[in-house]
Amino acid sequence: MSKVIDTALAALAPRVAKGFEAVAKFAFIGEGAIMLDADGAREGDEPADVTLTAEPEVFRALLAGEISAAQAFMSGKLTVDGPMGLALKLGQVLS
């Protein structure tokens, strides 16, 4: 597991301790991916209902509260593959 994934998991795990209502993936370009589902957060790269893809620095800024998911999406730094409603719920997890 990469340091990027380890750091992101440490930040995300408490935020989704009760799980997430769908299957979501955070894809870190060049580093791997994290899955969120009913069991919480874990490293993985399986099919998901919604996938957010960005450079590791963008996810770091999101988790640190330096940029919102909406700002990252509107600036083209974050891409969404799947229903926008689920992506918005993921944005709440990140903030």
pLDDT at residue 37, rounded to an integer: 92
Give the tens place of pLDDT for each residue, 42-72.
999 999 999 999 999 999 998 888 998 889 9
Mean pLDDT of 28-37: 94
pLDDT at residue 17, rounded to an integer: 80
- Structurally, what CATH architecture does the domain formed by 3-94 represent? 2-Layer Sandwich (3.30)
Domain ranges for the chain: 3-94
Find out whether 82 and 52 touch, Cβ atoms under 8 Å. Answer: no
pTM of the model: 0.89
Identify the band that residue 1 occupies on the pLDDT scale cut at 50, 70 and 90.
low
